[in-house]
Amino acid sequence: MSDSKINSIPVLCGMPVEELAERLSPLPRFRAAQISKWIASGVSSFDEMDNLPLPLRTELAGRFTLRPNVTVQKHSSSDGTVKLALRFADGARIEAVLLSDNSGRRTACLSTQAGCPAGCVFCKTGAGFLRNLTAAEIVEQFLQLRTLADDSASSGMSPTTLPISNIVVMGMGEPLLNLAELRRALAVISSKEGLHFSRRRITVSTCGIARGITDLTDQGPAVRLALSLTTADENLRRRLMPITVREPLAAVKKALRHFQDSGGGRITLEAVLLGGINTRDEDAAGMARFARGLDAAVNLIPWNPVKGLEFEGKTLRQPSTAEIESFTQRLKTLGLNVTRRYRRGRGVMGACGQLSGN
Ligand code: SAH
Ligand code: SF4
C-alpha cells in the first residue's frame, strides 16, 4: 500500500490539500479547501459537509472514503493516560496514546509503523514488523486522540481539560523509515487548510537513520527532532539496536549538525536506561562527547519493563534509583542539560517501548 488507499478506494484524510485538489480536478480548488476543513473538523461522512451541493456529496461518497476503516479500543489509566488500540481493515494493530502532565500539557503520541524493523532488544515494538502505516492511518490516530481530548474537556472529568498541545512521533515504529507517508500526514496536521497544528510543537523521534535526518532537514517539514542515542559506545549500541550497524554515529552526528545548521533548533538526545548496561561512567562520558558541538538536551527514560526481553542471554532489568541518580549527576557534572521522562501510562502498557499492538 503505497498511498492512502485501502482496497483501492482512496482515503482522503491523509491527503494534503494540494494533493486533494489534484484528485478532485476538475473541481475548483476551493472545494478541496472546503473538504480539508471538514476533515480537520472531524466529520466522518460526506453528508455532513453542508456547504457542498448534494449531488457532489453523493458523487464523492461513491468515489472516496474520508477516514480509514478502523476499530478502536480505549484503555484508561488512573494517571490520566489514555491508550487507544487501533485495528485496521487488514488486521494491522497499532497504538496511539494521549498523555496529560501536571503542567497542563497534553501530548499525542503517534505510531508510524505496525511493529518496527529496527529490532532494538529493549523495545517491545521491535519484536516484529508488519508494515508501514499510510498517511491516512497516521492522521486518523490524531483525530481519534483529539476526540478523546475534546470529550474529556467538555465533561471536565480528566485531570487536565485542555486540547492537545504537543505531538510526539514516538509510538510504534521508526518514523524515518516511513518518511514519505509521515510527511503527508504532517502536512495535513500542520497546514492552515488542514488541522493547523504548529510544527514547532511536533517532535519526531528516530533511532538515527542518517539519510532520513538529512532528507527531513532538506525537504521538511520543519519539526523538532529527538535522537534515541541510548549509548555513544558504538559497539554496545550496535548490539542493543541492530539497525545501527549501518548507521555509524559519526554519520548520524553529521546529519544532526546539518539539521542544526539549517535552523532545526535544539535537539533531544534520548537514552533509555537499562539496568547495569548503559549507565556506566564511560556511557556518561561518551554521551557528553557525542553532544559536543550540538545544541542538545538529554532526556533519560528509565527502562519500562517488558516481560521476556533479554540482551545476550541476560534478562533486562530496570535501573535502580541509585543508578539513575548517579548517572544523571554525572551527566550534569559533564555540563549536560538533563531531564527525566515521566513514567505515565505504565498502567495501560502505554509507556515508551511497551507498545506492541496486542
Ligand atoms: N523508533 C523511534 C520512535 C519510537 S521508540 C525511536 O527509536 O526513537 C521511542 C522511544 O522509546 C525511544 O527513545 C526508545 O529508546 C524508547 N524505548 C523503547 N523501549 C523502551 C522501554 N521498554 N522502556 C523505555 N523506553 C523505551
Ligand atoms: Fe523501533 Fe524505536 Fe522500538 Fe527501536 S526503540 S525497535 S527504533 S520503535
- Confidence class of residue 156 from pLDDT cuts 50, 70 and 90? low
d(CA 99, CA 235): 34
d(CA 213, CA 227): 10
Lowest mean pLDDT among 99-108, 128-137, 301-310, 341-350: 341-350
- What pLDDT, on a 0 to 100 scale, did the predictor assign at position 351? 60
Q: Whose CA is nearest to atom 4 of ligand 2?
A: 120
User: Could you report the per-residue pLDDT of 136-154, keeping only the tens digit for each?
Assistant: 999 999 999 999 988 776 6
- Confidence class of residue 1 from pLDDT cuts 50, 70 and 90? very low
d(CA 24, CA 15): 11
Nearby residues of 55 by Cβ (< 8 Å), 6 or more positions away: none
Q: Count CB-CB contacts under 10 A for residue 328.
A: 19
- What pLDDT, on a 0 to 100 scale, did the predictor assign at position 345? 62
**155, pLDDT greater than 80:** no
**176, pLDDT greater than 80:** yes
Distance 352 CA to ligand 1 centre (A): 5
Rounded to the nearest angstrom, the gap between the alpha carbon of residue 231 and the centroid of all alpha carbons in its chain is 21
Cell 461513491 locates to 62
User: Could you report the per-residue pLDDT of 275-314, keeping only the tens digit for each?
Assistant: 999 999 999 999 999 999 999 999 999 999 999 999 999 9
Question: How do beta strands 93-100 and 338-340 pair?
Answer: unpaired
**77, pLDDT greater than 90:** no
**Which residues on adjacent β-strands are paired with residue 114?**
131
Cell 488542514 locates to 194
Ligand 2 pocket residue status of 354, Cβ below 6 Å: no
- What pLDDT, on a 0 to 100 scale, did the predictor assign at position 150? 84
Nearby residues of 261 by Cβ (< 8 Å), 6 or more positions away: none
- What pLDDT, on a 0 to 100 scale, did the predictor assign at position 342? 58
Higher pLDDT, 342 or 321: 321
- Domains of the chain listed by start with CATH number: 3-63 (1.10.150), 70-348 (3.20.20.70)
Q: Helical H runs in 156-219?
A: 179-190, 210-219
Residue 183, C-alpha cell as written in the block: 510527511
Distance 86 CA to ligand 1 centre (A): 20
User: Could you report the per-residue pLDDT of 234-261, keeping only the tens digit for each?
Assistant: 999 999 999 999 999 999 999 999 999 9
**160, pLDDT greater than 90:** no
d(CA 76, CA 311): 31
Question: How do beta strands 5-6 and 9-10 pair?
Answer: antiparallel
**Ligand nearest to the backbone CA of 229:** 1
- What pLDDT, on a 0 to 100 scale, did the predictor assign at position 79? 84
Distance 325 CA to ligand 2 centre (A): 25
Average confidence score pLDDT of the chain: 92
Question: Quick check: 185 and 138 in contact, CB under 8 A?
Answer: yes
Nearby residues of 122 by Cβ (< 8 Å), 6 or more positions away: 240, 272, 274, 303, 306, 309, 311, 316, 353
- What pLDDT, on a 0 to 100 scale, did the predictor assign at position 343? 60
Overall average pLDDT of the 113-117 stretch: 97
**173, pLDDT greater than 60:** yes
Ligand 2 pocket residue status of 352, Cβ below 6 Å: no
pLDDT over 70, % of the chain:
91
- Confidence class of residue 357 from pLDDT cuts 50, 70 and 90? low
Cell 542539560 locates to 337
Ligand 1 pocket residue status of 122, Cβ below 6 Å: yes
**In 7-46, which positions are buried (b, 16+ CB within 10 angstroms) versus exposed (e)?**
eeebbbbbbbbebbbebbeebeeebbbbbbbbbbeebeeb
- What pLDDT, on a 0 to 100 scale, did the predictor assign at position 3? 45
**Rounded to 5°, angle at Cα 306 from 303 and 307:** 140
d(CA 107, CA 244): 28
Annotated catalytic residues are: 95, 352
d(CA 203, CA 201): 7
Interhelix angle 17-24/29-41, rounded to 10 degrees, is: 130
Ligand 2 pocket residue status of 207, Cβ below 6 Å: yes
Residue 62, C-alpha cell as written in the block: 461513491
User: Could you report the per-residue pLDDT of 327-341, keeping only the tens digit for each?
Assistant: 999 999 999 999 987
What is the atom index within ligand 2 of the atom nearest the CA of 353?
A: 3
- Confidence class of residue 5 from pLDDT cuts 50, 70 and 90? very low
- Confidence class of residue 2 from pLDDT cuts 50, 70 and 90? very low
pTM of the predicted protein model: 0.94
- What pLDDT, on a 0 to 100 scale, did the predictor assign at position 63? 96
